[in-house]
Amino acid sequence: MIARIAALIRFPFGLRGAPWLPLIVLGAVLVFAAGGEAFAPQDPNGLDLGVSFHPPCWQQGGGLANPLGTDNLGRDVLSRIIAGCRISVIVAFYAIVFSGGIGALLGMVSGYFGGKADALLMRLIEIQQSIPAIALALILAAVLEPGLNTVVIVIVLTYWSWYARIIRGEILALKGRDYIAFARVAGVGTPTIFFRHLLPNIRNTLLVLATLQVGQVILFEATLSFLGLGIQQPDVSWGLMLADARQYITNAWWTITMPGIAIMLTCLSANLVGDWLRDLLDPHLRQL
Amino acid sequence: MRGLRVSLLAAFLFAAPRVALSEETPAKGDLVVALAAEPTTLDPVKYAAGVDTYVLTDLFEQPLKPDPSGKTQNWLAESWSMGGTPDKRILDVHIRPGVTFHNGDPLTAADYEFSYQRLRDPAQSRWSHRQALIESFEIIDSLHFRLHFREPDAGYVADELQLWAMPKRYFEQVGAEGFAKHPVGTGPWRFVSWQIKDEMRLEAYDNYWNKEHRPGVKNLTIKFIPEDLTRVAAYKTGAVDWIDAVPPAMVQEFRSLPNTATFSAVDGNNLFIELPQDLPKSPFNDVRVRQAAAYAIDMDAIISKVLFGQGKRYAELGEGEPGYDPALKPYPFDQRKARELLRAAGYPNGFDTSCYNLTTPREPNMKEMGEAVFAYLSAAGIRCRIVQMEYGAWITHGRRGRPGQPLDGPTSWMWGHGVPGDAGTPWSGHLHSYEPGKGWGDSSHTSDSQADTLLEQARRALDPAHRADLLRQIAFRKHAEVLGGITTYQPLVTFAWRADTVKFQPWPWPGFWRSFQELGRKQ
Amino acid sequence: MIRLIRRRIGQGLVSILGASIIIFVISRLSGDPTTLLVPPEAPPETIAAIRATLGLDRPIYMQYAIFLAHALTGDFGISYRWQTPALTLILDRMPATIELAVTGLLFSVVIATPTGVYSALHRGGLIDRACRVFAMLGQAMPAFWVGLLLILVFSIHLNWLPAFGFGGISHVVLPGIALGWYPVAAQMRIVRSAMLDVLDSDHILVSRALGTPEWLIVWKYAFRNAAVPLLTMLGVYFAAMLGGAFVVETIFAWPGVGRTVVEAVFSRDFPVVQAGVLFTSILFVVSNLLVDISYGLVDPRIRDDR
């Protein structure tokens, strides 16, 4: 992600109109994710019932020890939000890499070869999309243990088809191009065609899709946590914080609002950046 | 703690039926109530969990019933006695005359025989095991029957003589499906309609036999609202007049709302931390390790902070249960002692274990409670790797004789003693050692021969005083050796209703206090 | 053309069958439903008897064969938990689900259309950006958070709208907003880009030169271009909402299909899970089919390429 952004900045016209604020927010998230607990003022899992429900520092009863307050088990909200950055990035990274990788590969194969492989893939996509994702998540979490791995697996199984379908469309359009036909005639092997001719052309699409998926992944994880099937202790995720704080919405507003704001800012930033990238690199994807 | 006991006492006193809140004339008016969980069946032989009794109690009745103060009264049974020889007991029951079903049919011994046959049939009933010790049913005349036991069963009496009054003639007319769609019983309410996941409608039964304790309103609509905030909103906006399960965090607020009456009581569930004691190699086989775990948990702090005080600490037996002895106190919080015991047991640096937590909130905040408990264990040296489980996985986890990994670490568990409460059946299930095929210990991870012997004696002890003494002895042994888990707390449930329009007298069982036996509209 | 339709229907049936097999198999991997159906002290004999009654002791391929045979006659079995026919359970929740989905879509269109149009008219400006951010809020907040906040503000604090249950129009407003919030961003984008495509065209230029009022140009001529892609997207979202509104339904105690299916998975109520997934997969396949056929009608290339 960082390398991609660095590559983009080399575009001479890329800087103009770039959404600075979202990029800064995303950068901060990445920094926190990399630095991890070093940034957190306290142990995100440090349970201390004696200090539960301390309000944020600007309210009566709050203090600088817990700038954003503490939750129902006395854990520091700010530290948990920072720890949540890492989980969000990890989940988003693995989810995007695997669902994007698998989906793109299948899309390329199906779009390029057509025929039976294509028909099979379209059926698989249809089957997968017709099974409610939540039902799938539930069943998987019952078979495996709920946790980080299960969340990633569920997201991959849900979102691969999104990539596959779009990449397939791209490949279908590319297939007709002359230079692909020439390469075939010249006897260039299929893997070479894939990696040297097709892949560079869909790189931009993949980038846009990946960025747009970040927000969806975070929201999906939050929904899984709402059901109790998302990230589990001792991992911390914003979705988990949100789901756990539901019943304190009236008497401890910060426990549910702070993680909600973290989610909102990150998703909004990712979507705005994705939007900008799409307008910049691949305007015909506006239909997404 | 003291405040809890006082308020509980106050609740019991307030609830004592000194004043009948109902009228003689047919009831009028409408009320809307909201329950937090929906029953899955209205057939007394098919219910499986406590939540299923919430509405069952309004439609069906048993021969005995505990009154609001917890004392068991004769209900549909006008009188009963346990006779026969010490080995072949005979339960003799006289049925109250004048009781009718919702369709007008009178209640007779033939209906009880029909009920008995349905209850003991494993093809229809989930409770056939409870009738297992009965040899035969004898009808003496239309209001008199006898049950012949092949072995003494003290649990039968403790369970209010179990037999639900079900209408034989009606069932034969409409069949099992018709009965399931439109149940008919002897209870104070008659069934009108049910939209699953939405609402149920009941109507007060005008010819209900008990003229003293009956509903004071004609039409009752029960809404099912599982989400806490939504249920609270329903009450605050005036959409419902009575709500179930005020969230623990809001109980304080509800008690001070204008025009709102509340009632809090132990809802009949008993939570504990199960420990595996019969695996070949487990640190928990050593009683010192188990005691260390008990000392390591600051349950009072958890009840106060995580449960907002909505829990009652108990040591083996809850207050009011047979065998309860106030001298038996829960383990105090003592981390130093916990570490000492671990060191003595050979774990100076503690040890690692999996700890199993339930995430589905069968009781409010159970997940957080479990996380807090396991955090305390970890702090003392019993380092927990928390495994979160949703209800379906969790309920299988504790059972014996099932495939998969056995229960090998502290597990957040529960087995309600009911209201007013009796530990006989729960302890037969999770304290007595596992004997496949004999009906003992199907969820047990303990193996203590002394407790086993006492439990088997208690099953046969029909004299209430003798039985209470046996249960008391079991409780002391269970506590000293930390058998069958570390008892944590009994959750409190709080109801709230509009003080100016609603009259409500809570009855404990069936229904775990969610009984509308005496619910009415103020004139 | 007929061949295309026949082929697509055949393929659709394969998808539906595939989905039902997958769910059938993996739900049985999720655990044993019988422990959830009996009281805790029920002995293993009771559990075994119930397993036999429910037919769960047979090998899995036989269970599926029986299920399929019955399903073809419309019998999807009896719900383990509710002891009513599974299909009835699903179909009875349909009206509520449809009402919620329609309201959600209505809300999203009502928000997305003016936002998209306005943003296209003021392209590149601050208003454009503000509209885009506003529309994207829906994809930046989890639906259950939105639902809870709506209840807090509009029900508890302001007491304008009821928070739960299936009743009159007022009951569907808050859940509709919570549900419809998510697709707003994508719909706004479609409207915006379709408008942008057409606003620069000669046709519009001429109309302007002739002095046609601006609002007529925007809404009668330009918006027409956006209508078709918008409708297509609505079709896709409608199918998704019918099956997947579970979170909103739970929060607002809305008796819909999504909630029924999810709660059935939790309680290992296999007949209801199967009936529910079959229902959503049929819906999905049918809506896909209609979209593909309509594309085939419009675009001959696609017709031949498949």
- Read off the pLDDT of residues B390-417 as tens digits, 9 standing for 90 and up: 888 898 898 888 888 889 999 999 999 9
pLDDT of residue A283: 62
Residue C33: DSSP 8-state: G
- pLDDT score, position B297: 96
B231 to chain C, minimum CA–CA distance in Å? Answer: 8
Q: Does B352 touch chain C (CB under 8 A)?
A: no
Q: Which amino acid is at B325?
A: D
B97-136 burial, b if ≥16 CB within 10 A, otherwise e? eebebbeebbbbbebbbbbbebbbebebbbbbbbbebbee
What backbone phi and psi angles, to 5 degrees, belong to A168? -60, -45
Q: State residue C55's pLDDT score.
A: 86
The confidence score (pLDDT) of residue C223 equals 76
The answer for residues whose C-beta is within 8 angstroms of residue A68's C-beta and 6 or more apart is: A56, A57, A76, A77, A78, A81, A254, A258
Tally the C-alpha atoms within 13 A of residue B45's C-alpha that lie toward its C-beta.
24
Query: pLDDT category, C214, cuts 50, 70, 90?
Result: confident
Query: Which chains border A (3 or more CB–CB pairs < 8 Å)?
Result: B, C
Q: DSSP character for B51?
A: G
* Partners of residue B200 on adjacent β-strands: B194, B222
Pairing of strands B134-141, B144-149: antiparallel
Q: B166 to each of B54, B113, B511, how far by Cα in Å?
A: 17, 9, 18
Q: Could you tell me the strand order of the sheet in which B89-95 lies?
A: B77-84, B89-95, B144-149, B134-141
Q: How many CB atoms lie within 10 A of CB A60?
A: 5
Q: What is the pLDDT of residue B76?
A: 93
Beta strand segments in B142-234, E:
144-149, 189-195, 199-204, 219-224
* Confidence at B24, pLDDT banded by 50, 70, 90: low
Residues from chain C that touch A267, judged by Cβ atoms under 8 A, are 139-141
Record the tokens describing residue B310, joined without a space: 């909505």
Predicted local confidence at residue C209, as pLDDT: 82
Contacts of B314 (CB under 8 A, 6+ apart): B270, B330, B487, B489, B490
Q: How many CA atoms lie within 13 A of A132 on its CB side?
A: 33
For residue B229, give the nearest of C42, C148, C166 by CB distance: C148
- DSSP H or E run through A199: helix A199-226
B198 touches chain C (CB under 8 A): yes
Q: Where do the DSSP E strands lie in B196-254?
A: 199-204, 219-224, 242-243
Is A185 buried (19+), middle (13-18) or exposed (0-12) by CB count in 10 A?
Answer: exposed
CA distance A94 to chain B (A): 22
Q: Return the number of other C-beta atoms located less than 10 Å from residue A219's C-beta.
A: 20
What burial class does residue A5 get, using C-beta atoms within 10 Å of its C-beta: 0-12 exposed, 13-18 middle, 19+ buried? Answer: middle
**Strands B189-195, B199-204: pairing kind:** antiparallel
Residue B231: closest C-alpha in chain A: A247
Min Cα–Cα distance to chain A from B304, Å: 9
Contacts of C65 (CB under 8 A, 6+ apart): none
Q: What is the dihedral of CA C278, C279, C282, C285, to 10 degrees?
A: -100
Which of B230, B333, B359 has the highest number of chain A CBs within 10 A, making it the mutation to test binding with A? Answer: B359
* From B197, B223, B230, residue closest to C151, measured CB to CB: B230
Residues 6+ apart with CB under 8 A from B295: B331, B332, B333, B334, B335, B337, B338, B341, B380
| DSSP symbol at A76 | B
**Does any CB of chain C come closer than 8 Å to the CB of residue B406?**
no
User: How many Å apart are CA C222 and CA C201, to the nearest integer?
Assistant: 10
C209 vs B1: which has the higher pLDDT: C209
User: Cα–Cα distance between B408 and A182 in angstroms, integer?
Assistant: 65
Mutate to test the interface with A, among C11, C15, C263 (most CBs of A within 10 A): C15
Nearest CA in chain B to C50: B123
Q: Is the pLDDT of residue B113 over 90?
A: yes
Considering only the beta carbons, identify the residue of B122, B236, B237 that sits closest to C46.
B122
Q: Which two tokens stand for residue C238?
A: 């409608």
Question: Is the distance from CB of B454 to CB of B477 less than 8 angstroms?
Answer: yes
**Candidate from A119, A129, A268 with C-beta closest to C140:** A268
In chain B, the percentage of residues whose pLDDT exceeds 70 is 95
**Distance in angstroms (rounded) separating the CA atoms of residues B81 and B85:** 13
Q: Which of C206, C286, C255 is nearest to C100 (CA)?
A: C255
pTM confidence score: 0.87
Decide which of B327 and C282 is more confident.
B327
Under 8 Å between Cβ of B516 and B188: yes
Interface test with B, best of A45, A227, A233, A248 (most B CBs within 10 A): A233
Contact B57, B39 (CB under 8 A): no
Q: Determine, for residues A246 and B229 on separate chains, whether the beta-carbon distance falls below 8 Å.
A: yes
- Selected residue with higher pLDDT from B300 and B153: B300
Contact (CB<8Å) A126/C288? yes
Residue C244: how many other CB atoms lie within 10 Å: 24
Q: Is B327 on the interface with C (CB under 8 A)?
A: no
Q: Which pLDDT score is estimated for B446?
A: 93
In this prediction, the residues of chain A whose per-residue pLDDT falls under 50 are: 9-14
Tell me the two tokens of residue B69.
């103060």
Q: Are strands B260-266 and B489-498 parallel, antiparallel or unpaired?
A: antiparallel
Of A74, A142, A252, the CB nearest to B390: A142
Contact B392, C268 (CB under 8 A): yes
In whole angstroms, give the CA distance from residue B412 to residue B271.
8
B7 — pLDDT class (breaks 50, 70, 90): very low
pLDDT band at C237 (very low <50, low <70, confident <90, very high): confident
Q: At what angle do helices C270-298 and C2-29 cross, to 10 degrees?
A: 160
CA distance A235 to C35: 30
**pLDDT tops 70 at residue B22:** no
**Can you tell me the distance from the alpha carbon of B234 to that of B176, in angstroms, rounded to the nearest whole number?**
36
- How far apart CA A180 and CA B436 sit, in angstroms, is 70
Residue A174: C-alpha distances to residues A198, A206, C125 (Å)? 8, 15, 34
Residue C82 has pLDDT above 90, yes or no: no
Q: Report the first-to-last Cα separation within chain A, whole angstroms.
A: 21
Average per-residue pLDDT for chain B: 90
CB-nearest to A135 from C133, C141, C261 is: C261
Structure tokens at B306: 């995580």
Which residue of chain B has the CA closest to C154?
B233
- Residue C225, pLDDT above cutoff 90: no
Chains B and C form CB pairs within 8 A to the count of 142
* Chain C: residue whose CA lies nearest to A241: C145
Are the beta carbons of A147 and B388 separated by less than 8 Å?
yes
Q: Measuring CA to CA, which residue among A76, A111, A91, A96 is closest to residue A255?
A: A76
Residue carrying the six token digits 């204008």: B258
Per-residue model confidence as pLDDT tens digits over B461-508: 888 899 999 999 999 999 999 999 999 999 999 999 999 999 999 999
- Scanning B73-132 for CB atoms below 8 A from C yields 122-123, 126-129
Closest residue to C142, CB basis, from A138, A219, A286: A219
What is the model's pLDDT at position B43?
92
Whether residue B432 is predicted with pLDDT greater than 50 in this model: the reply is yes
Nearest to C31 among A124, A142, A275 (CB): A142
Q: Do C151 and B229 touch (CB under 8 A)?
A: yes
Mean pLDDT confidence for B256-274: 94
Nearest CA in chain B to C145: B229
Q: Which of A215-229, B17-31, B260-274 has the highest mean pLDDT?
A: B260-274
Strand order in the sheet with B486-487: B382-389, B351-358, B411-414, B271-274, B486-487
Q: Which of A112, A123, A130, A219 best tests the C interface by mutation, with the highest count of C CBs <10 A?
A: A130
Averaged over B263-285, what is the pLDDT?
92
Q: Which residue of chain C has the CA closest to A22?
A: C133
